[in-house]
Amino acid sequence: MDLEELMSTDMFDYSLDHIFSYSTTLKNPPEIIGPVPEGIRVNFYMAGGDVKGTKLNGKVLPVGGDWLTIRPDGVGILDVRSTFETNDGALIYTSFSGVLDLGEDGYQKFLNQELPEYIQLRIAPRYHTAHPKYQWLNRIQCLGIGQSDLKNSQVHYNIYSIQ
């Protein structure tokens, strides 16, 4: 297929496969660096959590965090790194970027400490492991749909692999 044929194709075939969901508790309060040239820097550190799904189960270890930047337009850029431990002892490292939208006035509202109770999250995680049973994770790209519950310092995600 040449480029012209590719460009005339409406969509490439794909499917999404739910592989697990996870919840993480964040240490409170977050570390607020404050306004820097790129936006407001806020660091959230993980206290631990649970991973549950058809493909793997385990826990989110109490390491890692989210190094968030809230841009002047109210969009937050996620920069997350953490480690899972499966019920059978495998360690799985994850890193991802993503976005959240606090609204056009979100930057100023954050400075005024006016935060919404819930924030919708969209992420593109990758997973890395040396464990033979979970090598398939090294070969996939995932999408995550989540929500942050700021009142209870919780983050919840559903993770899908793209096929």
Alpha carbon 26 to chain centroid, angstroms: 13
| Helix, coil or strand: residue 77 | strand
Q: What is the pLDDT of residues 40-63, one digit of tens each?
A: 999 999 999 999 999 999 999 999
Cα(85)–Cα(28) distance, integer angstroms: 23
End-to-end CA distance of the chain: 21
Architecture of domain 26-162: Beta Barrel (2.40)
Q: Give the mean model confidence (pLDDT) for residues 3-32.
A: 88
pLDDT of residue 6: 66
Q: What is the pLDDT of residues 58-80, one digit of tens each?
A: 999 999 999 999 999 999 999 99
Q: Is the pLDDT of residue 134 over 70?
A: yes
- Tokens of residue 125, six digits: 């995680």
Q: What is the pLDDT of residues 81-133, one digit of tens each?
A: 999 999 999 999 999 999 999 999 999 999 999 989 999 999 999 999 999 99
Domain locations in the chain?
Answer: 26-162
